[in-house]
Structure 1
Amino acid sequence: MTDEQPVPPAEEQVPVCPRHPDRESYVRCQRCGRPACPDCQRPAAVGIQCVDCVREGAKSVRQARTVFGGSVTDGRPLVTMTLIGACVVVFVLQQVVPGLTSRLLFVPVLGDVQPWRFVTSVFAHGGLLHIALNMYALWIMGQYLEPMLGRARFAALYALAGFGGSVGLLLLASPPAGGVCTPGSAWCTGALGASGAVFGLFGAFIVLQRRLNRSAAGMYVIIGINAVIGFVYPGIAWQAHLGGIVVGAAAGAVLAYLGRGRAEGPLGERRHLGWMHWAGLAGIAVLLLLVTAVRYLAA
């Protein structure tokens, strides 16, 4: 037989941290009353709370939203910087990898069999001045729009506008008669650059500024100058600029005017109807795909 050891009364038991039973703790959580070791203690407005109570409390805190329903960030345009970095990397690779540019640019005659060109063309550029101007415009617009929309919505806007630029070129470039490519034909020559996506940001900017009752007069001047340049100087795909700005304005309208209402949450809180944004943006993407399919079937 073994001797049974008496169990100390509850008031004499040494309190231990529930998450770290090997650690004694005489500090208790102000919310649940359980012991919390130094690693599990979090300062609160009054006293100390354990990490479990802090995590549980965070679930009931309403997440801060931007004026257009996006998640509030720390202000750094990370998506913008990532896009610029990707364009710079691709531009460097274009200089060192023979034939890479011809495999990245968007050529309407090849789009149905090489659909990746709709996207890759947005990251490739034709020269140092070309990428410098586009990246400068992207940086200026991204610093303003990304914190306003939130990173996810801004990324979706840029992607749709870039794709829309390629679709604009596809729709407005005429197939050569008899299917034989001729020199200078936009249908066979193709285009590259982030200009279509940047013009999409211009279009969204105008719509969002109007929704906020702010002036966008300066942007009209910039768009007008670029429109004239696109028609005066050869080799500029004005069709991609037009496609980008139309799609960007449409996406901007979705973000500006849909989801503005509020709905009651399970705890009685007011929630932004953000799902309407994503439904609207998805609808634009589906429409672009349908238009692309119809264009190729009719070509």
Structure 2
Amino acid sequence: MATCDECGEYENLPYQCRRCGRTFCSEHRLPENHDCPGLNEWDDPEGVFSSGGPSTSGRSTQAREATSSQARSLWRRYFQGNATYVFLGLMWVTFALQVLVGTFVSQALSRDIFVLTISNPEYVWTWFTSVFAHGGFTHIAVNSIGLYFFGPPVERRLGSKRYAGLFLISGALAGLAQIGISIGMGATVGGVVGASGALLAIMGVLTVLNPGLRVYLYFFIPMPLWVLTFGFAAYSVLVGAGQVGGGGNVAHWAHLAGLAIGLAYGQYIKGDTRAPEQLQFGGRGGGGGGRGRF
């Protein structure tokens, strides 16, 4: 706790300038906002900090730019290694918006925003919003549990950018596959929501990288990952193959499409990355070595 050396304001969490060593409030913490003597030592070929000193408006503009740059940097640093948790948060925010729009505005608008439908597949935004939208609390809870356990080890091996691309692209293509096959089987109404296709793509990658990884079905039945993955695929084929739309209220064809994408991508990157050895609780900064269960 200290007072700002520039304006005298009391600050609970003061900032110390690394160049001049003085303490400042959040408004004056940047060197250009307190006329830091250290500015004279900067390599400034463009003359931003000339000997005559920048104008007040110039300093304000630079401060805003610096703050914006810091915000972007903080976001990148958080997203790097935490994309799974960003996607989990977006899923629940989207689900809440679905409920709010459907309850207080109209179900038709909610459907147009969040559901990839047979009647309007040209609504391109729904290719992606439908990945984060869900059909009910149980639906999103199950997908969240699966993503929480299977997502982080795949993200650690792929890197956050490639992992994010896998999640978004496989989720969108899985939904489009469900719609396309449904139309081909004669369906005229219907839609798809949920991150299941993206989750199955993640499981497909993990299955290729480490098929013997031990997981727990329903939290207590142990089995190697390949048994769970291909058992689920067999179930989807048997249940969904003969039903228009892919099996009642379950998008089995989306599951199969997502799994196929994941298996193919896993084979593509298999030689470039080390196989995850276990599923860990928590993100990169915590967790320990507990084994995940699904």
Give the TM-score normalised by the residue count of structure 1: 0.53
Correspondence 1:144 to 2:150: no
Choose the corresponding residue for 1:107, options 96, 111, 117. 117
> Are 2:208 and 2:266, in contact at CA under 8 Å, matched by a contact in 1?
yes
- Note the C-alpha offset of 1:81: 0.6
CA distance 1:219–1:75, change in 2 (3 Å): farther
Instruction: Check conservation: 1:106, 1:166, Cα contact below 8 A.
Output: yes
CA contact (8 A) 1:146 1:154 kept: yes
Q: Secondary structure at 1:166's aligned position in 2? A: helix
Partner of 2:27: none
Does structure 1 residue 85 correspond to structure 2 residue 89? Answer: yes
User: Distance between the aligned counterparts of 1:258 and 1:225, measured in 2?
Assistant: 27
Shift of 1:131: 0.2
Tell whether the 8 Å contact from 1:209 to 1:215 is kept in structure 2 after alignment: yes
- Is this contact kept in 2: 1:165–1:197, CA < 8 A? yes
Q: Which residues of 2 match residues 136-285 of structure 1 at below 5 A?
A: 136-175=145-184, 185=187, 188-209=189-210, 215=213, 218-227=224-233, 230=236, 231=239, 234-257=248-271
Bigger CA radius of gyration: 1
Contact in 2 for aligned 1:87/1:123 (Cα 8 Å): yes
Report the CA distance between 1:215 and its aligned residue: 4.5
Shift of 1:236: 0.3
Q: Give 1:116 deviation, angstroms.
A: 1.9
Identify if the C-alpha distance between structure 1 residues 259 and 127 changes in structure 2 by more than 3 Å, giving closer, same or farther: closer
Separation in 2, partners of 1:39, 1:145: 45
Equivalent position SS for 2:253: helix
Identity of matched residues, % = 28
What do the CA deviations read for 1:41-77 (whole angstroms, capped 9, x no partner)?
xxxxxxxxx999xxxxxxxxxxxxxxxxxxxx99984
The question of whether the paired residues in 2 share the 8 Å contact of 1:121 and 1:193 is answered with: yes
The residue type paired with residue 116 of structure 2 is: F
Q: Residues 255 and 132 (structure 1 numbering): CA distance in 2 closer, same or farther, change over 3 Å?
A: same
Between the aligned partners of 1:175 and 1:157, the Cα distance in structure 2 is 26
Listed one character per residue, the Cα deviations across residues 6-63 of structure 1 (whole Å, up to 9, x for unaligned) are: xxxxxxxxxxxxxx89xxxxxxxxxxxxxxxx979xxxxxxxxx999xxxxxxxxxxx
What SS is found at the alignment partner of 2:192? Answer: coil
- What's the offset of the Cα at 1:170? 3.4
Q: TM-score by structure 2 length?
A: 0.54
Matches within 5 A, 1:36-47: none
Q: What letter matches 1:105 in structure 2? A: V
In the alignment, structure 1 segments of 5+ residues that lack a partner are: 1-19, 22-37, 41-49, 53-72, 178-184, 261-299
- Superposed CA RMSD in Å reads 3.5
Select 1:95's aligned residue among 90, 99, 108.
99
CA distance in 1 between partners of 2:78 and 2:207 (Å): 24
Question: Runs (4+) of structure 1 moved beyond 6 Å?
Answer: 73-76
- Contact 2:98-2:110 within 8 A present in 1 as well: yes
Give the number of aligned pairs: 185
Give the distance between the partners of 1:96 and 1:75, measured in 2 at CA.
27
Q: Distance in 1 between matches of 2:151 and 2:255?
A: 18
Deviation by residue 1:249-294 (Cα, 9 ceiling, x = unmatched): 222222224699xxxxxxxxxxxxxxxxxxxxxxxxxxxxxxxxxx
Note the 1:6-155 alignment, pairs <5 A: 77-98=81-102, 99=107, 100-103=109-112, 104-111=114-121, 113-155=122-164
The answer to whether the 8 A contact 2:207-2:229 is kept is no
Alpha-carbon spacing, 1:51–1:81, altered in 2? closer, same or farther (3 Å): farther
Q: 1:108 and 1:255, CA in 2 relative to 1: closer, same or farther beyond 3 A?
A: farther
CA distance change for structure 1 residues 254 and 188 in 2, over 3 Å: closer, same or farther? same
Separation in 2 of the partners of 1:120 and 1:195? Answer: 13
Compared CA separation, residues 75 and 148, structure 1 to 2 (3 A): farther
Letter of the 2:199 partner, please give it: V
SS at match of 1:126: coil
Which residue number corresponds to residue 284 of structure 2? none
Q: Secondary structure at the match of 1:236?
A: coil
**Conservation of the 8 A alpha-carbon contact between 1:163 and 1:244:** no
- Aligned mates of 1:143, 1:51 — CA distance in 2: 41
